[in-house]
Amino acid sequence: MHSIDSSAFSLVGIFIPIYLLTLGFSVTEVLVYFIIQNTTLLMSAFAVGYIGSKYGIQRAMLLRLPFLFLFLILLLLLDNINFPIYLLAIIDGWQSALYWIPLNIAFTKNANKRKMGSALGGLFAWPKVATIFTPMFGGLIASYFGFNALFAITLIIFAFSVIPLLRIKKIKIDFHFKFKEGLKLYRKNKKYFWAEVFNNIGEETDGIIWPIFIYLSLVKITAVGNTATIISLGAFFLTLYMGRISDKAGKEVLIKVGASLIMLTWFIRIFFDTEIAFYIIALFSGLAFVIFKIPYYSKLFSIPRKSKVDEFFIFREVPVNIARIIVFLLAIIFVNNLQFLFPIAGLVYLYFLLFKL
């Protein structure tokens, strides 16, 4: 399910801000869209906790489908109807919350703690088999056939992702969300919640601001897709191997090495604005993020097995989405010079060099 879903999302996800720009929305309006989307995700995370507690993980994920399909249909019709994109952002936030929170909880409760790195390597790597070339194909489809064709194909692929979920009779995973337990967990693991703030500043700058910068620099949709494909190529060949290494080697050392390399990639990006340079940076960036991400998430996902998994992943949305909102607010401030965000995105990884997790 996750592989099919990732394939569909990688086909279209990176192009959503580009699509909005081609429709005539300003960069600031697009950034406000993502602020509203992440604010919605943050607020709906707690609702997902109570929904999951009452109806279970499987039904929570099935409840996502109306929001997901409505989101894609409205994207498909956006160039023909007068529909407020900020309402679209709210729908997007809900569908994201109803997918990622139950998925993380289901994965963590079933993963082998002693082999968490290998398990995460599989979770990250196998979907990439289906998604390595989809961003490139997405760019070609959008360029030659238009965004409507891209969204229509994505809608069909997402429909297939439902089949594996429906074939499971019942997912036997307890889901009990208690707000007070979440607050206790937050107080106990503040350093990880701060780590999530800094890491997501870097990840969101890479995932949203960087593609916008590439498009504005080249005004070339295919370049955005090609860059994402190169990142996936670099990441895939290292992800599974890094998962095994992180189970055996010192995770702290790997985290610091990865953080150092990520910082380097961000400072390099300041000085280049050509298509070839973007591709080279993308390959190096994909490798750097994997070296950091596997051992980091291996430690992060091992925490809630000692206490409350449900509360952990719901409260985790607080630092994650606060970080993303900070990124988009900074991008609005530097809207005419988005490259000013690159050193900021690099410097936040000093946290991982200065403090032990």
Counting as low any pLDDT under 70, the low residues of the chain are 2-3, 6-14, 110-139, 167-179, 181-182, 219-249, 304-308
Residue 214 vs residues 30, 218, 229: alpha-carbon distances, Å: 15, 6, 14
| pLDDT at site 175 | 58
CATH numbers and ranges of domains, the chain: 2-168+179-354 (1.20.1250.20)
Cβ contacts of residue 333 below 8 Å, gap of 6+?
A: none
CA atoms within 13 A on the CB side of 265: 27
Alpha carbon distance 123, 161 (integer Å) = 16
Contact 197, 322 (CB under 8 A): yes
| pLDDT at site 235 | 61
Contact 251, 299 (CB under 8 A): yes
Give pTM, 2 decimals.
0.79
| pLDDT at site 274 | 77
